[in-house]
A and B are shown apart, each in its own frame.
Chain A
Amino acid sequence: MNLNAIQMILVVIVAFLAGMEGILDEFHFHQPVVACTLIGLVTGQLVPCIILGGSLQMIALGWSNVGAAVAPDAALAAIASAIILVLGGQGRAGVSSAIAIAVPLAVAGLLLTIIARTLATLIAHVMDRAAEEGSFAKIDLWQIIAICMQGLRIAIPAALILAVGAAPVRSMLNAMPAWLTDGLSIGGGMVVAVGYAMVINMMASREMWPFFALGFVLAAVSEITLIGLGAIGVAMALIYLNLSKMGGSGNGGGSNTGDPVGDIIDKY
Chain B
Amino acid sequence: MADNKVQLTKNDRIKVWVRSNFLQGSWNYERMQNGGWAFTLIPVLKKLYTTKEDRAAALKRHLEFFNTHPYVASPILGVTMALEEERANGAPIDDVTIQGVKVGMMGPLAGVGDPVFWFTLKPIIGALAASLALSGSIMGPILYFVVWNAIRLGFMWYTQEFGYKAGSKITEDLSGGILQDITKGASILGMFILPALIERWVTVDFSPVKVSTIKQASGAYIDWDKLPKGAAGVKEALVQQKAGLSLDKYKVTTLQDNLNQLIPGLAALIITFLCMWLLKKKVSPIIIIFGLFAFGVIMHVLGVM
Q: Is the C-beta of B42 less than 8 angstroms from some C-beta in chain A?
A: yes
B 113-125 to A, binary, CB cutoff 8 A, 1 in contact else 0: 0110011101110
Q: Are B202 and A123 within 8 A (Cβ)?
A: no
Question: Please, how many angstroms separate the alpha-carbon atoms of A136 and B40 in the complex?
Answer: 11
Question: Please, how many angstroms separate the alpha-carbon atoms of A124 and B24 in the complex?
Answer: 12
Q: Are A140 and B42 within 8 A (Cβ)?
A: yes
Which of A139, A187, A194, A209 is close to B39, meaning CB atoms less than 8 Å apart?
A139
A239 CB to nearest chain B CB (Å):
10
Q: Are A196 and B203 within 8 A (Cβ)?
A: no
Closest to B149 in A: A27
Q: Are B39 and A143 within 8 A (Cβ)?
A: yes
A 90-133 to B, binary, CB cutoff 8 A, 1 in contact else 0: 00000000000001000100100000011011011001101111
Q: Could you list 10 further interchain pairs (A-B, Cβ under 8 angstroms) beyond the known A51-B136, A183-B300, A192-B201?
A: A53-B130, A107-B286, A136-B45, A143-B36, A183-B293, A189-B296, A200-B191, A200-B272, A212-B194, A226-B128
A261 CB to nearest chain B CB (Å):
7
Q: Is the C-beta of B268 less than 8 angstroms from some C-beta in chain A?
A: yes
Q: Are A31 and B144 within 8 A (Cβ)?
A: yes
Question: Please, how many angstroms separate the alpha-carbon atoms of A183 and B292 in the complex?
Answer: 10
Q: Is the C-beta of B35 less than 8 angstroms from some C-beta in chain A?
A: yes
Question: Please, how many angstroms separate the alpha-carbon atoms of A234 and B135 in the complex?
Answer: 30
Question: Please, how many angstroms separate the alpha-carbon atoms of A202 and B186 in the complex?
Answer: 13
B136 CB to nearest chain A CB (Å):
4
Question: Please, how many angstroms separate the alpha-carbon atoms of A229 and B190 in the complex?
Answer: 11
Closest to A127 in B: B35
Q: Are A191 and B197 within 8 A (Cβ)?
A: no
B interface residues (Cβ-Cβ under 8 A, vs A): 21-32, 34-36, 38-39, 42, 45-46, 52-56, 59-60, 63, 67, 70, 110, 114-115, 118-120, 122-124, 126-138, 140-141, 144-145, 148-149, 152, 169, 172-173, 176-178, 181, 184-205, 264-265, 268-269, 271-273, 275-276, 279-280, 285-286, 288-290, 292-301, 305
Question: Please, how many angstroms separate the alpha-carbon atoms of A47 and B21 in the complex?
Answer: 30
Question: Please, how many angstroms separate the alpha-carbon atoms of A209 and B29 in the complex?
Answer: 34
Which of B31, B115, B292 is close to A203, meaning CB atoms less than 8 Å apart?
B115
Q: Are A139 and B196 within 8 A (Cβ)?
A: no
B54 CB to nearest chain A CB (Å):
8
A202 CB to nearest chain B CB (Å):
8
Name the residue among B25, B67, B70, B177 with the largest chain A CB count within 10 angstroms: B25
Closest to B38 in A: A139
A128 CB to nearest chain B CB (Å):
6
Closest to A38 in B: B141
Contacts of B271 in A (CB 8 A): 190, 193
Which of A55, A214, A216 is close to B199, meaning CB atoms less than 8 Å apart?
A216
Contacts of B34 in A (CB 8 A): 124, 127
Contacts of A227 in B (CB 8 A): 124, 128
Contacts of A58 in B (CB 8 A): 127, 130, 134, 201
Q: Are B192 and A232 within 8 A (Cβ)?
A: yes
B260 CB to nearest chain A CB (Å):
9
A 210-249 to B, binary, CB cutoff 8 A, 1 in contact else 0: 0111111011100000110110111011101100000000
Q: Are B198 and A193 within 8 A (Cβ)?
A: yes
Residue contacts A-B, CB under 8 angstroms, 28 given: A20-B25, A27-B21, A33-B144, A50-B133, A50-B141, A51-B134, A54-B134, A121-B29, A123-B26, A124-B31, A127-B38, A139-B59, A146-B26, A183-B298, A183-B300, A187-B296, A193-B275, A197-B272, A201-B279, A215-B193, A220-B199, A226-B127, A226-B193, A236-B192, A237-B184, A241-B184, A261-B178, A267-B172
Main secondary structure of the interface of B (DSSP, over half): helix
Q: What band does the interface of chain A fall in when counting residues whose beta carbon is under 8 Å from B?
A: 35 or more
Contacts of A163 in B (CB 8 A): none
Contacts of A62 in B (CB 8 A): 119, 123, 197
Closest to A210 in B: B191
Q: Are A50 and B191 within 8 A (Cβ)?
A: no
Question: Please, how many angstroms separate the alpha-carbon atoms of A241 and B46 in the complex?
Answer: 43
Question: Please, how many angstroms separate the alpha-carbon atoms of A123 and B203 in the complex?
Answer: 43
Question: Please, how many angstroms separate the alpha-carbon atoms of A94 and B30 in the complex?
Answer: 42
Q: Is the C-beta of A256 less than 8 angstroms from some C-beta in chain B?
A: yes
B163 CB to nearest chain A CB (Å):
15
Given contacts A66-B114, A131-B56, contact A187 B202 (CB under 8 A): no
Which of B118, B119, B128, B202 is close to A192, meaning CB atoms less than 8 Å apart?
B202
In the A-B complex, list the 6 residue pairs whose CB atoms are closest, starting with the nearest: A187-B296, A54-B133, A183-B297, A189-B203, A197-B275, A219-B196
Q: Are A26 and B152 within 8 A (Cβ)?
A: yes
Contacts of B176 in A (CB 8 A): 256, 260-261, 263-264
A242 CB to nearest chain B CB (Å):
10
Given contacts A201-B276, A229-B192, contact A184 B296 (CB under 8 A): yes
Q: Are B192 and A68 within 8 A (Cβ)?
A: no
Question: Please, how many angstroms separate the alpha-carbon atoms of A60 and B276 in the complex?
Answer: 18
Given contacts A124-B31, A139-B35, contact A57 B190 (CB under 8 A): no
Q: Are B118 and A64 within 8 A (Cβ)?
A: yes
